[in-house]
Structure 1
Amino acid sequence: EKKKVVMRHEAKPDGTLANGLVFFDMTSAPGEDAIDGVKVDQQGNLYVSGPGGLWVISPAGKHLGTIIAPKHPHNMAWGDEDGKTLYLCARSGLYRMRLNIPGIRPAMAIRK
């Protein structure tokens, strides 16, 4: 059986990864959809494209819920000026949804 896990790693100063641990395991979830896109909101919640939809996982590793789209999303991007719109990319569609928590966009991480 294929493992469907989200891993957590220590990022070393030289950019390499170490000490990989399973952060969240989706292996028992029905469906063949692979774990693909991952995004993070400003509260540290993960949005992970996984079996059956878009899984929302807390920073503590608790499954908060699964967002079901008309087609399975494989990747996503935060958008709009306030960062509260999540665009979901599927093989045959593009969907958007408004959320209460803004996401962390790549440009935000660089501005430190």
Structure 2
Amino acid sequence: MPSEEYVERVLSVVERIPPGAVLAYGDVAEYLGDGGPRQVGWVMSHYGGSVPWWRVVRADGRPADCHAGEAVRRLRAEGAPFRETSGRVDMAAARWDGAAADGPMVEEGPT
């Protein structure tokens, strides 16, 4: 089970993903410089209800299967680009670059 600090860091990143954009589970871990896709997925499955969970997808662009298609509906409503032939998010077009108007996405720790 990840630490409370890790949970908070994951949720903080997910909260910053803008509407219409996505990150893969592994992208979140990469931005944090900690953990991996499975750890991020665990956090999202246990604590993600308070953040825009639908903006975190599999690396191949498949949205979460849970919630009877709710992730797809929300992503489409936000204007996320999809590859119509596969029904997956177009990761090249939708992947968020981490830029945030309010500063860096992840604060640097002490050096």
TM category, shorter: under 0.3
Structure possessing the higher relative contact order (Cα contacts under 8 Å, 6 or more residues apart): 2
Higher helix share: 2
User: Which structure's CA Rg is the greater one?
Assistant: 1
Higher strand share: 1
